[in-house]
Chain A
Amino acid sequence: MHSLLTIKNLNKTYAQPVLRDFDFILEKGEVHALIGSNGAGKSTFARILTGLTPAGSGDIALNGKPFSPASRKAAEASGVAMVLQELNIIPTLSVAENISLSRLPSKAGILDRKTLRETALAALARVGLESLDPDTPAARLGVGQQQLVEIAGTLSDTASILILDEPSAALTGPEIEKLFENVARLRSRGVSVIYISHRMDEIARIADRVTVLRDGRRISTHKVSETGIPELVREMAGSELAERKPHIPSGKRRPALRVEDLRSGTAVKGVSFTVHEGEILGIAGLVGSGRTETLRAITAADRPSSGKIILGDNRNISPKSPADSAKLGIGLIPEDRKNEGLLLPLSITANTTISTLARHSRASVLNHSSERKATTEISDRLGIKRDAVSQPVSSLSGGNQQKVVIARWLLRDCSILLFDEPTRGIDIAARQTIYDTLDQLAAENRALVVVSSDLLELMSIAHRIIVMSDGRITGEFFPDTWTPESITAAAFAGYHNRSGASSNMSPH
């Protein structure tokens, strides 16, 4: 008797390997949770199973037969469906239209409303929404119901596997209960559910087994009743030590920036911390924990709703725009350098001097040689590899592109620099040069805040690490006592106790 889904030696590489010899077994009628830190490979695995991306190599067998869907439609036809965190619901259409969106029934080109309604009623019954009128515009539903409608739409009668990616991220307590009812209902009908989530308490309630991923590999699989959070955290974090040790200067340092009870949008729920001159402060946390939003709130890229920002000389500041915060000496190197940091078709010079153009002009007339000189100097200092400063930044490597954005703020002489994922998409060798640059900047007595999803990276560059979880700070760690485990535990801590269950999985 085979298992429903057998996966052996699954590999997938983008710029770096994301799944390495991943093996996984899913039984019929089980709810199987998949957990791991950022970048562990969970989403890539889900995308491969639902045909959104091809596997690099490996064997996937569904019901004993080889399975390699070429598209989402092909995967759904074979009974494998997925509901993502970002719903595919179209708010302007009705519930019935959303359910049948990819296969609207028609008679000679005219929408067959009768069949549409019947299909919708049958689908809604499968998720316990029999009383919902299929003609309701989807915009009128709450997020929880919209999600259930999407689940109803992706489940055909022949569905055997449903993948839920962070299903409870946007749901409230009662909606989460409804979701669990439906997951249990699916299980009793023989449908297997792969439940990808950060939320340990939900996994404790709803899952039969849990698999831990780390660095693209399956580390372990446990029966939920036979394990506990501490063990899982240990397995997610791993215990490898960072090879590089941060150079931490001794002596007391003055505070450069203090943030008090900062709140912004729905993602930043009351954050307070201090960063000192000459310090590299790392901010760890899971994707979606509010780290990017915090940096953006400090520089007023998004206006914070409340909270205090205080500069080193005890000046209370309230910048209204990035232009204001730049004037106060704070610069942000954004997460998405291609879309938010660089002017890709323009030259290295134009990109580097854009924040300090006034210095290279007299009565508004540009002095090109002054620009070129300043750019050449700073590019040499940061080691930006180029043929000429007149070449477009699009022709530079990722690491050098990142340095151009850093150079821009250095010309502005910012004393406080905020880095959001500074080494994203940069290969290992180039990362070292970025780390050296960060050390250099700290040695110049600037205050650096570095957000990174790579724990080992943070542990090798930061002088101190704070952890954000669900919009709040959940921990502060120092080099002599920090461990990957303790930081990871803090990263997950904010997501406990949302559904009202206890945070223990078992007496362990």
Chain B
Amino acid sequence: MSLKNSIAHYAPLIVIWALLVALFGSMSDNFLSTRTLATLASQVPPLAIIACGMTLVLIIAGIDLSVGSVLALAGAMLGVALVDWGWSLIPACLLAVATGALAGLFNGSISVLLKIPSFIVTLGTLEIARGLAYSATDSQTKYLSGALENLARPISGTGLPASFLIAIATVAACQFVLSKTTFGRYLIAIGTNEEAVRLAGVRTAGRKISVFVITGLLAGLASIFFTARLGSADPNAGLGLELSAIAAVVIGGTSLMGGRGSIVHSFLGVLIIATLGAGLAQIGASEPSKRIVTGAVIVLAVAIDALRSPAVANRIKVIFQKPPLN
């Protein structure tokens, strides 16, 4: 895509984000500061990585409601491995990632092979994974001794922590897969019209399952950064994260109907959600009002997405017309 096209593509989201920054900057003196930037830089990575996976799942017209719980479970395994079993850093991180991938395999296999809507399967996994996280940590937070601190600390010279840079790399890699590989093309086709793709002689089941595995794997990766930021493995981690991820992806322009989406757009959606959260906290908004505002933004984004489809726009028009005389 040419530079001019790219700018046009991303401009609306960047503008919205800039407006948010300006809004909160005017409402609070402390907003435009390095401290806010640091907060954002540490909050964004887990959400951004999760949003990559969520984008892919939404593109194939599925959904994964378990990402928050899987993040907690992977983080719990990371904590247990480091603290209880005395593993070194790398193997423990690999365990976290593998835990996430396994959860994704469960989600994918059950929903694809048994033809059960992913909404329901991942709803179940949401509960199972959370329960397993509590069970693994005996429902207690595991404090880590600093093995992971380096990930959260800003790298000198850039002001950005390693987690942020890895998140950017993940976004870039996923965008590449989506737009430049055969796998990405198949995903978009499957989300557009799965039956046509099947009749065209393409095998769809394995690819769909892979998407769930990738989502779980990314949740595992995100748990490493989440845990690093907290300095502890908390079984309550990621509560409600799936909703923030879906919100970010939908704000970014990915359709809930499938067949359309972009990872970079989702990342911009993440920036907007994270900035919204940080800004509301800065101006002293209460927790309840933060949730109300975030929820309202989700509904607004989904409504705008729905109105983009001509079928829905027509139906709305029909409802507001006078009923025909019988």
Query: Mask for B183-210, Cβ within 8 A of A = 1, else 0?
Result: 1011011001101111111110000000
Chain B, range 140-196, C-beta contacts under 8 Å to A: 180-183, 185-186, 188-189, 192-193, 195-196
Residues of B within 8 A of A358 (CB): 182
Give A119 Cβ to nearest chain B Cβ, in Å.
21
Given A70-B324, A70-B326, A350 contacting B185 (CB threshold 8 A):
yes
Give B208 Cβ to nearest chain A Cβ, in Å.
14
Residues of B within 8 A of A340 (CB): 193, 195-196, 199
5 more contacts with CB within 8 A, not counting A71-B326, A322-B199, A341-B200, are A301-B198, A322-B201, A350-B188, A361-B182, A365-B182
A153 at the interface (CB under 8 A from B): no
Q: B residues near A, CB below 8 A?
A: 180-183, 185-186, 188-189, 192-193, 195-203, 259-260, 324-326
Report which of A70, A339, A412 forms a contact with B193, defined as CB distance below 8 A.
A339
A343 at the interface (CB under 8 A from B): yes
B201 x A364 contact (CB < 8 A): no
Give B260 Cβ to nearest chain A Cβ, in Å.
7
> In whole angstroms, how far apart are the Cα atoms of A345 and B309 in the complex?
12
A334 x B192 contact (CB < 8 A): no
23 residue pairs from A and B, CB less than 8 Å apart: A70-B326, A299-B199, A322-B201, A326-B200, A331-B201, A340-B193, A340-B195, A340-B196, A341-B199, A343-B189, A343-B192, A344-B192, A344-B193, A345-B259, A345-B260, A346-B188, A354-B202, A355-B202, A364-B182, A364-B183, A366-B180, A366-B182, A366-B185
Most chain A CB within a 10 A radius of its CB, from B183, B199, B325: B199
Residues of B within 8 A of A299 (CB): 199
A327 x B182 contact (CB < 8 A): no
> In whole angstroms, how far apart are the Cα atoms of A339 and B324 in the complex?
31
Residues of A within 8 A of B181 (CB): 361, 364-366
Give A488 Cβ to nearest chain B Cβ, in Å.
31
A4 at the interface (CB under 8 A from B): no
A3 at the interface (CB under 8 A from B): no
B198 x A322 contact (CB < 8 A): yes
A446 at the interface (CB under 8 A from B): no
Residues of B within 8 A of A234 (CB): none
Given A343-B196, A344-B193, A354-B189, A327 contacting B180 (CB threshold 8 A):
no
Give A419 Cβ to nearest chain B Cβ, in Å.
13
Report which of A327, A342, A361, A366 forms a contact with B201, defined as CB distance below 8 A.
A327
> In whole angstroms, how far apart are the Cα atoms of A341 and B193 in the complex?
9
Residues of A within 8 A of B180 (CB): 365-366
Residues of B within 8 A of A323 (CB): 198, 201-203
A210 at the interface (CB under 8 A from B): no
Report which of B200, B325, B326 forms a contact with A322, defined as CB distance below 8 A.
B200
Q: Number of A interface residues, CB 8 Å? A: 34
B201 x A325 contact (CB < 8 A): yes
Query: Mask for A351-372, Cβ within 8 A of B = 1, else 0?
Result: 0001101100100111000000
A209 at the interface (CB under 8 A from B): no
Residues of B within 8 A of A92 (CB): none
A357 x B199 contact (CB < 8 A): no
Residue of A nearest to B193 (CB): A343
> In whole angstroms, how far apart are the Cα atoms of A343 and B199 in the complex?
12
Residues of A within 8 A of B203 (CB): 321, 323
Give B185 Cβ to nearest chain A Cβ, in Å.
6
> In whole angstroms, how far apart are the Cα atoms of A408 and B202 in the complex?
12
Give B262 Cβ to nearest chain A Cβ, in Å.
15
A346 x B196 contact (CB < 8 A): no
> In whole angstroms, how far apart are the Cα atoms of A342 and B192 in the complex?
9
Most chain B CB within a 10 A radius of its CB, from A334, A343, A355, A365: A343
Report which of B182, B183, B192 forms a contact with A345, defined as CB distance below 8 A.
B192
Residues of B within 8 A of A346 (CB): 188-189, 192
Give B103 Cβ to nearest chain A Cβ, in Å.
25
Report which of B186, B193, B198, B259 forms a contact with A342, defined as CB distance below 8 A.
B193
Give A402 Cβ to nearest chain B Cβ, in Å.
14
B201 x A74 contact (CB < 8 A): no
Give B1 Cβ to nearest chain A Cβ, in Å.
11
> In whole angstroms, how far apart are the Cα atoms of A334 and B197 in the complex?
12
A332 at the interface (CB under 8 A from B): yes
B326 x A343 contact (CB < 8 A): no
Residues of A within 8 A of B189 (CB): 343, 346, 350, 354
Residue of B nearest to A356 (CB): B201
> In whole angstroms, how far apart are the Cα atoms of A301 and B196 in the complex?
11
A73 at the interface (CB under 8 A from B): yes
> In whole angstroms, how far apart are the Cα atoms of A350 and B189 in the complex?
8
Given A364-B183, A366-B181, A321 contacting B192 (CB threshold 8 A):
no
Chain A, range 364-396, C-beta contacts under 8 Å to B: 364-366
> In whole angstroms, how far apart are the Cα atoms of A346 and B258 in the complex?
13
A355 x B259 contact (CB < 8 A): no
Residues of A within 8 A of B324 (CB): 70-71
Give A470 Cβ to nearest chain B Cβ, in Å.
26
> In whole angstroms, how far apart are the Cα atoms of A340 and B260 in the complex?
19
> In whole angstroms, how far apart are the Cα atoms of A466 and B173 in the complex?
55
B200 x A354 contact (CB < 8 A): yes
A343 x B197 contact (CB < 8 A): yes
Given A325-B201, A326-B201, A365-B180, A339 contacting B260 (CB threshold 8 A):
no
Most chain A CB within a 10 A radius of its CB, from B185, B193, B200: B200
Residues of B within 8 A of A326 (CB): 200-201
Give A342 Cβ to nearest chain B Cβ, in Å.
6
Give A28 Cβ to nearest chain B Cβ, in Å.
27
B182 x A357 contact (CB < 8 A): yes
> In whole angstroms, how far apart are the Cα atoms of A345 and B326 in the complex?
37
Residues of B within 8 A of A325 (CB): 201
A301 x B199 contact (CB < 8 A): yes
> In whole angstroms, how far apart are the Cα atoms of A224 and B198 in the complex?
49
Residues of B within 8 A of A332 (CB): 199
Give A94 Cβ to nearest chain B Cβ, in Å.
27
Give B257 Cβ to nearest chain A Cβ, in Å.
11
Residue of B nearest to A326 (CB): B201
Residues of A within 8 A of B186 (CB): 357
Residues of A within 8 A of B195 (CB): 339-340
B193 x A321 contact (CB < 8 A): no
Residues of B within 8 A of A71 (CB): 324, 326
> In whole angstroms, how far apart are the Cα atoms of A365 and B181 in the complex?
4
Give A71 Cβ to nearest chain B Cβ, in Å.
6
Residues of B within 8 A of A322 (CB): 198-201
> In whole angstroms, how far apart are the Cα atoms of A301 and B202 in the complex?
12
Nearest 3 A/B pairs, CB to CB: A326-B201, A343-B192, A357-B182
Residue of A nearest to B191 (CB): A343
Given A321-B203, A323-B201, A323-B203, A342 contacting B182 (CB threshold 8 A):
no
Give A52 Cβ to nearest chain B Cβ, in Å.
14
> In whole angstroms, how far apart are the Cα atoms of A317 and B183 in the complex?
29
> In whole angstroms, how far apart are the Cα atoms of A358 and B183 in the complex?
10
Residues of A within 8 A of B193 (CB): 339-340, 342-344
Residues of A within 8 A of B188 (CB): 346, 350
Residues of B within 8 A of A357 (CB): 182, 185-186
